[in-house]
Structure 1
Amino acid sequence: MANSNSSALSRRSACRHKRNSNPVKPLRRTMDVSGLKGVCQVAVRSLLSTEETFLSALARINDIVLQPLLRTDQDDQKGKEHMKSLLLLSDRYHAVWDRTEENYKTLKRKYSTSEYSLTLHDIYIILKKDLFLDVYTQYFTCFTNYVVIQGFDRAAKQMSGYWKTNKKMVKQLLAPSVSEPTTAITLHTVLHETIRNQIQQYALILTRLNENAEEIDEKNLVSDALNLYVKLQNFIGQSLDEASLTKILWGSLGSKLVSSLCVPERRLQEDSKYVPVSISTGKFERVLLFDDLLILLQGTDFRSFDLKLVWVDPAPTENSTAASHSLRIITPEEEFLLSSKEPHHKAIWQWKLNQVIRQRLDGKRDFPLWGKSEEGLDPCASRFSTYTFRSECRFKNAVYEGDFSWGKPHGKGTLKWPDGHNYVGDFKEGLEDGFGICLIPHSSEDGYDCYKCHWREGKMQGYGICEYSNETVYKGYFKDNLRHGFGIQESPISSKHPFKYTGHWDRDKKMGYGIWDDIESGQRYIGMWQNDQRHGAGVVVMQSGACYQGTFLMDKITGMGILISEDESVFEGKFTEQLKLDGKGKLTFSDRFTLEGNFISKAGKDLQTRGVLNANSKEQDYDVTRKPQLGLTEFPVEKRWQGIYDPFFEFISSGCREETEESFLGIHVQSSKELRKSQEYLFCQRDSEEISGKIEDVLEALYEYQDLKSLQCYLQKALNSSQHPFAKLLKSLSTVFQATYAGIGANRHLLHMAQEEVKYHAWKTWEFYRNITHVATKQKGQLPDTEEDTEGSEKENSYTLILPVILPRFHPELFMLYMLYHEKEDALYWQGIVHLGLFSDTKLLEFLEVQKNLWPLKDLRLTTNQRHSLVRERCFLSATECLQKIITTVDPREKLGILLKTHEEIETTVSRVMEKEYKLPMDDLLPLLVYVVSRARIQRLGAEIHLIRDLMDPKNEGGIYDFMLTAIESCYEHIQKEEIRLYHFP
């Protein structure tokens, strides 16, 4: 391959040599300098004369030196590398030749036809200075590469016969002052000196032109070009010096080191042999600084460091005299000191290291190589690079690609291990810290576990999502790489034993309060856990509607328990694993009869007992026997979901620092801040109702919104923002509420548990709001109000401010429990409503014993007997329509307002009938209210009434709202009465 390339170049050069074999003819005529209109013509003539000589020299050098070199036979591997460098050198040589010849011909043609009209714009070494700079730097780069690999020495040996034969001809190419050099030196000198001298000639021409230029613009144009060629001369000199020093170094080292380290492009920058420094490791004795590597050397043993990942700290931490003359060298896996006895030696190494590192990071050398000495050119501490860890550590054999700072991964990056283990995300001081995604393969080649988590100091910490290889998913909190705190784990429906766990974890074990759904059997366990097993008080809810409450020990039922069957029979005693009574117990039937004795449960047989049947228990409180409530004392409400509240209150205790927000509040904050910002500002027109979830905006808003109306409006919007802390808290609370009470958990015996939780969530959310408001106030430099200062304030009441805002999230499941709890009462009530619906308006008023002077007769069209109206549901219509609005809101406060408004509408109608303002006494109000309720036909009124009673603000107890609610309750109970449901028309 090398020979074919050499032949091609030889043919090309031969053609060119044929064109240029004769000396360039002199100019047509001799010009009189005094006849020129300006110095530009003098510069052009001088340039053309110089180029003629230069082109002639290039042709002779190509013919006598370069072409014979290219015909050298290079069969061995080392020779092929030499030939590759020589071919590149030849290509760059001809590029210089082509560039010069092309521009020379153009200028000569212009000069021959219009010598007196030439301007600076015709002098190509000015206008095309960047092209000339590029072609000359490329040539000398290739030339010095060939010097470094000792190409001229090798060529001199391999073609010694040719050089002896043509010694006289070759020597003619040298300057007369050169004595008898070696063949290698001759070749080296011939191929660089002529070109280097030509650049000097360009600089001289431009210097004279610059001295004679008068116009400022012209002077600047020439001055800029001159400076560039001066820098080029410096660059050439520095390049040749570096190549010479590097060549000497390779000649002084053993072949093993040279074969490992020597590449044509690498240049020696400093050597501790000449500027002494010692190495703190003790193992190595010599330091070599190249333009891409830092080498520690001892004999044939060496250690190399890529300069992209080398940091220089001029102030080591050691408190000693030696440390003051030391530099701390920091790399991803090692740190050591370079110490010198002389301060100026330290200064040299510090400057050289910083400049070479900076150039390495920039991806190019300075121009000239050591021409920048201004301050502020030290390399930046933050860098992007790739590194493979080798030492014994957690990252061993991993390839890291990403941001570094002072030798440590810091910022965004990717870690990849050979076994497929990957991490992509944030790093801080060498460890995973922030948000990251980690893939961990299984040895069985069964897929990966994927962790999308927050990390701190190299460990999973905070909120995360783990997708296991078996398709099970965990969403929750981690601590020290283990599931810890609140979390939800769910297996796919297609798995062998599908399940869902919603609850607390401790060191990767289910621990504390939690909900387990056994999807296969249709059972739900609500209760305490220890070491992944049911342990402590627990409630089992079955798909059939039956419930069991008892004690579990290491996943086994133990001790006394209570079982409520589908027909509301209650079993009390000891139970088997199949939830059958076994031993002494008590059975209370749905009709309130009781049976006490010893019960025997045998496989395949019905329950057998010997005991006493008691019928006197029928006098007991029906509600207590029929609808007992479970879990109230076993699971105190303040201990159920503390794992959800803890991260939010920890976030507040940290001062709401933004860097802690993501790990405390979940992945949906971030998922990254850059992504969040891009989403926020992606559209120029945004909804004016949109509010920000960024913590600084949240604190500002909470500080500004002080009155109840504006604050409640803000919180309502906050709950619709996926980024807002209140929305995140409420989402977690509604998730566990649904996990407990939806589906199988929709059981009437859990109503009081659910009702407790809703009120507790309102109170804790209120506490969260108060605490975060205190942070906002402090950040404004003000002292927050004390509880005493604001006691009794309406905005601080969790019932007034928080409950109306959060209740819609819990209402579907909660109201279902109320409906189930009052199912029988509501059924009796509806029978009464249906029956009363058969009455005409006047007949119903008469039946309810409403005084006739209160009848709104103008609203009725009566028959001749004045007893039956022709149009139904026209009487007290405004009150009826008002009461029907009670189902349009879930807010207990608004429902109470509707009841009060209904009362006012009834009195307004009566006052119109009486033609004076009239306040109804209770004896008159109740029958009228029964009439309105019967005409409003509100289904499940019992569930509505009891929800209002349980969740209304305690401050309303004993007031007008309480009075109206009591009145509605009386109406509800009255309509259930047997005499109403079974009344027959006369």
Structure 2
Amino acid sequence: DALRTPVRRLIRESRTHPITLVNSGRFSSHWFIILTDVLVHVSGSSNHVTYPLATIWVEPMQDSDNIQTKNGLSLTMPEETMTLACPTAGDKMEWLVALQSAIRHALLIDDVGSSSSGRTTPPLVRSASYTFTKLPHLKDVTYKGAWLCGKMHGEGELNWPDGRVYKGSFRQNQQYGYGSSESFGPNGSTYEGSWKDGKMNGYGILKYANGDVYEGNFQDGQPHGHGTLKRGHFLTSAAHVYVGQWEAGQKCGYGVMDDIVTGEKYMGMWQADARHGQAVLVTLDGLYIEGSFTNNKMTGQCVMLLEDGTSYEGEVAGVGILGGKGLLQFPNGDIIQGTFHGSWSDGIKINATLTKASLTAQSPLSPPTGLSIGHFQQQNGSSGVPAERKWGAIFQQCCSTLGLSPNCTQWTADDSLRAWDQIAAVLNQCKQRTTNDHHIRPKIQHHLSVEIPEILQHIPDYGRNQLNGDEFVKIETYLHMALESEIHPLGKLAAQIGDVYRATYVGVGAHPRLLPHAVSEVHSFVSRVYAFVRLLFPALPEDRAVHLIPNGMYNKILLMTEPSNDHPQELQAVVSANTLLLPVLLPRLYPPLYTLYVLHNQKLDDLYWERLQKWNRQSDSALMNFLGVDPKFFIEEVAPEGSHFPTAVDCLQQLSTTFSPGRKLQVIHQTFQEVSRSVQAHLGADYVMNMDDLFPVFLFVVVRSRIRHLGTEIHLIEDFIDKHVQNGELDVMFTTLEVFLFL
């Protein structure tokens, strides 16, 4: 009576049409009833189980020597399987047809199987709803979605009795692929991202009930690899942002912690969620510390640099706490050497010897005034984490995506082919995913790019065995598209590089003493990305080497060097890791890097700017006379206010709007060309200026261009330009510009 409803009808039952349960007890009784929506199994006198027809898959069994399974039918349900046997082959066929017809009818009633109309058998893949009752981890959980032969497979939704929800992809009864989950209560959370074998695996975003957010990679349900944790809210007692490496849910490896409350930024090694190993720490007060941590406590030797130029090198008992032998040096050069105990805020007990510096001596540790990075590092040294040890997780992730070992020295030609195959697979998978499933990925859709440029949809056949101008242009074009793409493995890597760089050197990280670290990181990024690029295009030169292409074979000048022995009459285009990657990577890194250069060169730039403003108050003729310009070069051109050399001035002003050092050198080169054109237009096309004439004219152009941070521009070029370009005509032009800083 419990099964009676107005819409249910009896289709077939086993008392009239015999069918038995295989391997049942000798004295047990079983009664099978097919109703319009369920299969009922009655065992004994009253116990019964109902199976929704929409989630039953029935298959005829092959006849065998086993008498029990002769004329048998195999039934598969979400939580169990069942084998039934009929007396004759005819009975078997009648039961099979009855079951299949009832299943088709049930699917049509649920309005999820209309596409199967006209089929003689129900579809193996279907959509249906089912509530689990037996599986321990899914008891009382309701699933609605796609099935394949009794398994959750495809897109679907799980709902737990306590309110937990999962929506996304399944494979063989487990969450697999993209999906989102939500749970409630004090320990509740929401997750959106990749799954594998029922656990969070791959990239995802996890939001905790207390407001904390983790975004990054997961493995076996825990943060693992590279990720970002934002904890607390602004001005709360535990507000901070951590960007770095994780292992099994704990901070481990290199990472950057930005403590919003204390105003400290820690850049160093971690172990088991604790600061442990080499590190650099900067504060809002301008304090810069290099040293070593053990279980969250700074110990041993360290170097402290205060904002006013005071420095301490010696033993410490904590962050900002002096504790032992050391040397304290003041900006005026005075040195105190001995033992120190205490902190800057509470006072320091000193037992030491004071050595007065000469009144005219300059402190070697005074704030740098325009020294190059190489000189700065030589003076101050560095006990921080080497650049090549930073951010290893994001490069390991790229290796994993391309099917490569983390050690690039072991890569072979077979690895190159494998990497190209993996790139093609990733792009094709993303293309299908964004085409078919974009409607279920609203929150992280920005991580996927629907449109894939045509050049990325084919595996290139160039750059493998030889390198000429045309092939280099193709490689350059491909890399530009790849590094700008959000779904290409190299594009994802470039985006992560930009993210971690900004996380490190923005805010408290905008400290002038961090410039050497920032420059080293850029060089390291270029070197490590170039390893992937050269694997894909083996014809490119090795890292730190160059390949010269005659200008006649390359119609787009990047950087030029002097004629070679092979081409004595031609300038050569320099092909290297820097010329290939810096124009693409630097725009992502430029704002924080440029800010550090400005802070580092502030005194030099301020002196230059003060002098520049004074000189710019003069008229053109007065300024040119002051700079010693030959009167024959007093050339008023058709321009506002009849100015001199306006095209050259406009050209040089582009120095501040370009990113790569190669492009900046081109601007300088073009400025000299504009000066020559103006002179030749006035004195004749055959007129050639010598350096004695050109130097004061170029100084006039520099003054009138009013470049605010010329020292910054010059030192940025010095730190990133290839040595092969530091000779010949370009080097003379660059040196001429550099001299102006020290006039």
TM norm structure 2: 0.79
Per the alignment, in what secondary structure is the counterpart of residue 225 of structure 2?
strand
In the TM superposition, 1:615-694 aligns within 5 A as: 615=356, 626-627=367-368, 634-653=384-403, 655-656=421-422, 673-675=436-438, 693-694=451-452
Give the Cα–Cα distance (whole angstroms) in 1 for the partners of residues 266 and 486 of structure 2: 31
1:814: which partner in 2?
A: 593
Give the Cα–Cα distance (whole angstroms) in 1 for the partners of residues 151 and 103 of structure 2: 16
Deviation track 1:416-449 (CA, whole Å, cap 9, x = no partner) reads: 111112111111111111111111222xxx4831
2:416: which partner in 1?
A: none
Q: CA deviation at 1:270?
A: 4.2
Partners of 2:242 and 2:256 within 8 A in 1: yes
Give the Cα–Cα distance (whole angstroms) in 1 for the partners of residues 69 and 389 of structure 2: 58
2:43: which partner in 1?
A: 298
Partners of 1:499 and 1:517 within 8 A in 2: yes
Cα 1:760–1:916, aligned 2, differ >3 Å: closer, same or farther?
Answer: same
Partners of 2:309 and 2:365 within 8 A in 1: no
Q: Which deviates more from structure 2 when the two are superposed, residues 603-612 or residues 581-590?
A: 603-612
Q: CA deviation at 1:942?
A: 0.6
Partners of 2:449 and 2:487 within 8 A in 1: no
Task: Please tell me the residue identity of whatever aligns with 1:429.
Answer: Q
Give the Cα–Cα distance (whole angstroms) in 1 for the partners of residues 715 and 397 of structure 2: 34
Give the Cα–Cα distance (whole angstroms) in 2 for the partners of residues 595 and 437 of structure 1: 61
Deviation track 1:233-262 (CA, whole Å, cap 9, x = no partner) reads: xxxxxxxxxxxxxxxxxxxxxxxxxx3444
2:674: which partner in 1?
A: 905
1:504: which partner in 2?
A: 245
2:191: which partner in 1?
A: 451
Deviation track 1:156-177 (CA, whole Å, cap 9, x = no partner) reads: xxxxxxxxxxxxxxxxxxxxxx
Per the alignment, in what secondary structure is the counterpart of residue 904 of structure 1?
helix
In the TM superposition, 1:92-131 aligns within 5 A as: none
Give the Cα–Cα distance (whole angstroms) in 2 for the partners of residues 273 and 463 of structure 1: 57
Q: Is residue 856 from structure 1 mapped to residue 614 from structure 2 by the alignment?
A: no
Partners of 2:291 and 2:383 within 8 A in 1: no
Give the Cα–Cα distance (whole angstroms) in 2 for the partners of residues 319 and 530 of structure 1: 63
In the TM superposition, 1:338-737 aligns within 5 A as: 338-339=84-85, 343-363=89-109, 376-442=119-185, 446=186, 448-490=188-230, 491-493=232-234, 495-601=236-342, 605-615=346-356, 626-627=367-368, 634-653=384-403, 655-656=421-422, 673-675=436-438, 693-694=451-452, 698-700=456-458, 727-737=491-501
Partners of 1:280 and 1:338 within 8 A in 2: no
Cα 1:317–1:916, aligned 2, differ >3 Å: closer, same or farther?
Answer: farther
Q: CA deviation at 1:956?
A: 1.9
Q: CA deviation at 1:741?
A: 0.3
Partners of 1:278 and 1:285 within 8 A in 2: no
Cα 1:858–1:883, aligned 2, differ >3 Å: closer, same or farther?
Answer: closer
Q: CA deviation at 1:764?
A: 4.0
Q: Is residue 308 from structure 1 mapped to residue 54 from structure 2 by the alignment?
A: yes
Give the Cα–Cα distance (whole angstroms) in 2 for the partners of residues 319 and 841 of structure 1: 110
Per the alignment, in what secondary structure is the counterpart of residue 607 of structure 1?
strand
2:584: which partner in 1?
A: 805
Q: Is residue 834 from structure 1 mapped to residue 613 from structure 2 by the alignment?
A: yes
Q: CA deviation at 1:732?
A: 2.3
In the TM superposition, 1:328-339 aligns within 5 A as: 328-339=74-85
Q: CA deviation at 1:677?
A: 11
Deviation track 1:471-517 (CA, whole Å, cap 9, x = no partner) reads: 11111111111011111111322643211111111111111111111
Q: CA deviation at 1:360?
A: 2.2
Partners of 2:147 and 2:153 within 8 A in 1: yes
Deviation track 1:21-46 (CA, whole Å, cap 9, x = no partner) reads: xxxxxxxxxxxxxxxxxxxxxxxxxx
Cα 1:391–1:662, aligned 2, differ >3 Å: closer, same or farther?
Answer: farther
Cα 1:489–1:564, aligned 2, differ >3 Å: closer, same or farther?
Answer: same
TM norm structure 1: 0.61
Task: Please tell me the residue identity of whatever aligns with 1:421.
Answer: R
Partners of 1:270 and 1:289 within 8 A in 2: yes
The number of residue pairs the alignment matches comes to: 669
Cα 1:617–1:346, aligned 2, differ >3 Å: closer, same or farther?
Answer: farther
Q: CA deviation at 1:658?
A: 8.1
Give the Cα–Cα distance (whole angstroms) in 2 for the partners of residues 625 and 634 of structure 1: 20
Partners of 1:412 and 1:425 within 8 A in 2: yes
Partners of 2:297 and 2:319 within 8 A in 1: no
Give the Cα–Cα distance (whole angstroms) in 2 for the partners of residues 651 and 297 of structure 1: 53
Q: Is residue 892 from structure 1 mapped to residue 661 from structure 2 by the alignment?
A: yes
Task: Please tell me the residue identity of whatever aligns with 2:228.
Answer: I
Give the Cα–Cα distance (whole angstroms) in 1 for the partners of residues 167 and 580 of structure 2: 43
Cα 1:900–1:263, aligned 2, differ >3 Å: closer, same or farther?
Answer: closer
Over the aligned positions, Cα root-mean-square deviation in angstroms equals 4.0
The structure whose RCO (Cα within 8 Å, separation 6+) is larger is 2
In the TM superposition, 1:122-271 aligns within 5 A as: 259-263=1-5, 265-271=8-14
Give the Cα–Cα distance (whole angstroms) in 2 for the partners of residues 529 and 631 of structure 1: 22
Cα 1:923–1:381, aligned 2, differ >3 Å: closer, same or farther?
Answer: same
Deviation track 1:601-649 (CA, whole Å, cap 9, x = no partner) reads: 2797532323233456999996766455589663232331222233333
In the TM superposition, 1:60-79 aligns within 5 A as: none
Deviation track 1:795-827 (CA, whole Å, cap 9, x = no partner) reads: 974433332123222111110000111111112
1:105: which partner in 2?
A: none
Q: CA deviation at 1:337?
A: 2.3
Partners of 1:856 and 1:875 within 8 A in 2: no
Matched residues, percent identical?
30
Gaps of 5+ in 2: 112-116, 369-375, 404-418, 443-447, 464-469, 550-572
Give the Cα–Cα distance (whole angstroms) in 1 for the partners of residues 313 and 64 of structure 2: 75
Per the alignment, in what secondary structure is the counterpart of residue 596 of structure 1?
strand
Deviation track 1:715-750 (CA, whole Å, cap 9, x = no partner) reads: 656666655655543332222111100111001111
1:971: which partner in 2?
A: 740
Task: Please tell me the residue identity of whatever aligns with 1:398.
Answer: V
Per the alignment, in what secondary structure is the counterpart of residue 441 of structure 1?
coil
Give the Cα–Cα distance (whole angstroms) in 1 for the partners of residues 726 and 354 of structure 2: 43
Task: Kindly indicate which of the two structures has a greater share of residues assigned to helix.
Answer: 1
Q: CA deviation at 1:915?
A: 4.7
Give the Cα–Cα distance (whole angstroms) in 2 for the partners of residues 404 and 355 of structure 1: 19
Q: CA deviation at 1:892?
A: 1.8
Per the alignment, in what secondary structure is the counterpart of residue 656 of structure 1?
helix
Task: Please tell me the residue identity of whatever aligns with 2:457.
Answer: L
Larger Rg: 1
Deviation track 1:397-420 (CA, whole Å, cap 9, x = no partner) reads: 211111111111111111111111
2:512: which partner in 1?
A: 748
Task: Please tell me the residue identity of whatever aligns with 1:295.
Answer: V
Per the alignment, in what secondary structure is the counterpart of residue 455 of structure 1?
strand
2:565: which partner in 1?
A: none
Gaps of 5+ in 1: 1-258, 366-373, 680-689, 775-783, 861-870, 976-986
Task: Please tell me the residue identity of whatever aligns with 1:833.
Answer: L
Per the alignment, in what secondary structure is the counterpart of residue 573 of structure 1?
strand
Task: Please tell me the residue identity of whatever aligns with 2:704.
Answer: R
1:757: which partner in 2?
A: 521
Cα 1:600–1:757, aligned 2, differ >3 Å: closer, same or farther?
Answer: closer
Task: Please tell me the residue identity of whatever aligns with 2:22.
Answer: I
Partners of 2:18 and 2:87 within 8 A in 1: no
Partners of 2:251 and 2:271 within 8 A in 1: yes
Give the Cα–Cα distance (whole angstroms) in 1 for the partners of residues 306 and 184 of structure 2: 48
Task: Please tell me the residue identity of whatever aligns with 1:651.
Answer: T
1:370: which partner in 2?
A: none
Partners of 1:573 and 1:585 within 8 A in 2: yes
Give the Cα–Cα distance (whole angstroms) in 2 for the partners of residues 580 and 282 of structure 1: 80
Give the Cα–Cα distance (whole angstroms) in 2 for the partners of residues 835 and 858 of structure 1: 23
Cα 1:498–1:546, aligned 2, differ >3 Å: closer, same or farther?
Answer: same
Cα 1:326–1:753, aligned 2, differ >3 Å: closer, same or farther?
Answer: farther
Per the alignment, in what secondary structure is the counterpart of residue 650 of structure 1?
helix
Cα 1:575–1:276, aligned 2, differ >3 Å: closer, same or farther?
Answer: same
